[in-house]
Amino acid sequence: MDGDGPVLNKYSRILTLPKIRGPSQAMLFATGLQPADMLKAQVGIGAVWFEGNPCNMHLLDLSGEIKQGVEEAGLLGMRFSCVGVSDGISQGTSGMRYSLASREVIADSMETMMGAHYYDALVGVPGCDKNMPGTLMAMLRLDRPSLVVYGGTILRGHCPSLGPVDIGRAFELYGETLAGKITEEQRVEGIGKACPGAGACGGMYTANTMSSAIEAMGMSLPYSSSNPAVSAEKRRECRNVGSAVRNLLERNILPSQIVTKKSMENAITLGIALGGSTNLVLHMLAISRTAGIPLELDDFQNISDRVPYLANLMPSGDFVMADLHKVGGTPAVLKFLLKQGFIHGDCLTVTGQTLTENLSTVPDLTDDQKIIRPISNPIKSTGHISILYGNVATLGAVAKLTGKEGLSFTGPAICYDGEEDMAAGFKRGEIKKGMVVVIRYSGPKGAPGMPEMLTPTGLIFGAGLSKDVALITDGRFSGASHGFIVGHVCPEAQEGGNVALLQNGDEITIDAPTRTISAKVSDEELSRRRAAWRKPALKATKGALYKYAMLVRPASEGCVTDM
């Protein structure tokens, strides 16, 4: 208890004050605490830190800055780490199957640490893609004062012979080499320069999409999603967390008061305006289920129908998040969208103020900026995310169509049971202009783990086929993927979805204006094929992936495992 004010150590006092908890107190004294510390609120600082990934390698340092700020605010900072997965490193391998599952592991880990140790508040420090939703899901489960500090975006790389490069281009360099567009020496030079240091992948990929969404929801301090990882602004943000957490504790502001249907609509709106990753759909569905807030696939379509695609950001555009930071960052974009009436300004945030109040002192986007287009001249008058239905995806699929690739595509299917098979077929020259590549048995149960298809899209783009080949999958896509792509096909092949019944040569039509994805195959023929189909055994028979496959819900429900 802090004097005559509100009780800040609501949870930790269960361990630090009763005489019967003497053994608990003895162990806390062994960590260096003093008797006076037993009266202070304890703040768990959960960093998804590990050395083997640029997105995460600096998070321990940031958590140290946060701890110092927390203790300057008269609180105790208790740091811990969570398991993470590098999506970029594991792409195209069986290791990628652990990526989406890691979201649940992160949520479980943070919930476990907070619940077991009775910390009074939580500061989550995520870096790579699944870190962000996993951290927020833990906060919603616990419903204690909490905020997110994003580890920050990486700076853009530069290669003398290729120009600007980033991780997305790195995935395309091999395809460019196979197509004879660059030399092997250029490929090697490019991958050596693509990632110049700490920070998450720089375009509007999943990490920056989800950090922006979390800021729009009000669960991080202003500018958190656009402050680069290695900037002085990121360090100052970390030091300011202490006073922000103390304010949350004093006013007992909880995640359940901040994450509402309206704030989630703000998050989706910003994600669509920025041209964000299709993983936004998957993760927002999971967050909504954790929060107990109704959210369906069609809600994304409704927002996409009214919100224009405005941001000239990679992978489809020219700029990266570090460039957006220079012209005003995420708050300036939010202020722009607020003025245009696209977002709700009355939502509470972790500052204790509403979004409108936070944005009232934010400078507008700079006059000379080229990243955010005016409403009168959007990249696309509606959003880039389309929810499609048809006999290929009776429960829905998620398309990422910026308009640059066109809005409809018809062609014969060429089917592969996994991305490794597709990559081998690509090398054999099987994939031709006009085809619809089908990669199946890659869903949440089928892989298991619903891996991202960045390697296949990188091959297609690198070979110059992005406008001539479509790709559909019951897996998902990295935010770095672009082209004519449709993921999250549901029901998945492993569960007997019609995508399992497709055959080479079936004519498939993908049409964004009518929101359909259909094969020119009769119901009678599909029934005949279904009678001959046999459900394959799960690829995992023990361990984490087996448990995930047994528990995971469909993509249309966010691939959650706890309900």
Active site residues: 478
| The two structure tokens encoding residue 335 | 């202020």
Closest CA to 493 of 445, 561, 553, 525: 445
Quote the CA–CA distance of 215 and 336 in Å, as a whole number. 15
Contacts of 46 (CB under 8 A, 6+ apart): 79, 80, 81, 82, 109, 110, 113, 114, 122, 123, 124, 125, 135, 138
Q: CA-CA-CA-CA torsion for 212, 217, 219, 220, nearest 10 degrees? A: 30
Are 97 and 449 spatial neighbours (Cβ–Cβ below 8 Å)? yes
Amino acid 115 reads: G
- Say which amino acid occupies 125: V
For residue 150, give the nearest of 187, 182, 114, 124 by alpha carbon.
Answer: 124
Tell me how crowded residue 541 is: count the other CB atoms within 10 A of its CB.
9
CA distance 352 to 372: 28
Q: Which amino acid is at 374?
A: P
Cα atoms found within 13 Å of the Cα of residue 522, Cβ hemisphere only: 3
The alpha carbon of 447 is separated from its chain's Cα centroid by a whole number of angstroms, namely 19
Q: What's the residue count for the chain? A: 563
DSSP letters spanning 286-350: HHHHHHT----HHHHHHHHHHS-B-B-BTTTSSB-HHHHHHTTHHHHHHHHHHHTT-S-S--B-T
* DSSP string of 423-439, one letter each residue: HHHHHTT---TT-EEEE
C-beta of residue 445 within 8 angstroms of C-beta of residue 494: yes
The C-alpha angle with vertex 428 and arms to 427 and 430, in degrees rounded to 5, equals: 105
Count other C-beta atoms under 10 Å from residue 31's C-beta. Answer: 8
Conformation bin of residue 223: beta by default, left when phi > 0, alpha when psi is -120 to 50:
left
What residues pair up with 165 in beta bridges, in sequence order? Answer: 157
The widest CA-to-CA distance across the chain, in whole angstroms, is 76
